[in-house]
A = this chain, B = another copy of it.
Amino acid sequence: MQENISVSGVLCSSYDSFFEAEKKIADFILSNKSDIIDMTVAELALASGTSDATVSRFCRRCGFNGFHHLKINLAKEVAEERGNSIEVSNDISRDNIGQSLQNILANKVAELTQTISMMEPKELDQILTMIEKARTVQLVAVGNTIPVALDGAFKFNQLGIATVSGTIWETQMAYTCNMGPEDAVIIISNSGFSKRLMTLVAVAKENHVPTIAITNNPSSPLGQACDLHITTATREKLLLGEFCFSRVSATTVMEILYLFLSVSKKNSHDHIRRHEIAISDDKK
């Protein structure tokens, strides 16, 4: 039996050899492709003005195993058509939510692709090593990237990497003052222009703490000041035509670090499990 048969293809090419009742069926299928997918033989027979037997025979005559097989192939076909029509548009409106969601998806995918393509395997490796060797890792951020830092701290601690983070800048700064060369600090900033974060980096440098920057802009003051750097992509500007950043890229960077660290850290799975158990009393 042939595995993948194009339903439209077969119906069109064999159309002339069909009997009257079969043509009715073919017509209905061709013009209601996606509806057929959740119809039964009886329903299709009724809808096309034919009978169960004719529909069933028709499917076999067209080279399918049966009605079920035709439906599966039709589903594949519809999905494939949809899959190929990736059109990156920047329109978002409440009037066409379905299409808008597809547009957002395309943009987010582009964002992730760009972020990952900008990563230097060599530099990433250095960053991972730096994090693994560190006695304590500090994740710092201000404003709208604070949630990303908190998320990262949560993940790292889950892997057994002692990590601190916080919502108050002064507290973060105070902590940095106590760090040394055996630690590491990761600074997350969209633009890379934050004055306060620059001050913090200056303190870190004084104490010879290794520094890693995660920003949109490698040539920004923060990007330049830190020892190592990861660049995040954002396309929010395209979507809104305005000045405003996405956090998906930064969150993804944190997840990438997490995934790599989890495979290289010995016993990390034990740590995750222990952590899950420790917080699981909230469940059930």
Residues of A at under 8 Å CB distance from B?
37-38, 65, 68-69, 71-73, 75-84, 86, 92-94, 97-98, 100-102, 104-105, 108-109, 112-113, 116, 119, 121, 124-125, 128, 142-144, 146-148, 150-151, 154-155, 158, 167, 191, 193-196, 239-240, 242-244, 246-248, 251-252, 255-256, 259-260, 262-264, 269, 272-273, 276, 279, 282-284
Chain B residue numbers with a CB within 8 Å of A276 are 243-244
Question: Measured between C-beta atoms, what is the minimum distance from A45 to chain B in Å?
Answer: 18
CA distance A248 to B232 in the complex (A): 14
**CB <8 Å contact, B38 and A72:** yes
Chain A interface, >50% SS class: helix
Of all chain B residues, the one with the shortest Cβ separation from A259 is B92
Q: Known contacts being A83-B84, A191-B283, is A256 close to B144, with CB within 8 Å?
A: no
* Also in contact, A97 and B83, with CB within 8 A (given A76-B75, A104-B256, A105-B113): no
Complex Cα gap A19–B23 (Å): 48
A–B complex contacts, Cβ < 8 Å, 7 sampled = A83-B84, A105-B113, A142-B282, A144-B155, A148-B151, A240-B269, A251-B251
State the number of copies, please: 2
Q: A124-B97, A252-B248, A260-B92 are in contact. Are A146 and B142 (CB under 8 A)?
A: no
Q: Is the CB of B92 within 8 A of A263?
A: yes
Cα separation A113 to B109 with both chains bound (whole Å): 9
Contact A104 B259 (CB under 8 A): yes
A144 in contact with B154 (CB, 8 Å) = yes
Of B146, B193, B252, B284, which one neighbours A108 at CB under 8 angstroms? B252
Given contacts A150-B147, A239-B259, A255-B246, contact A105 B97 (CB under 8 A): no
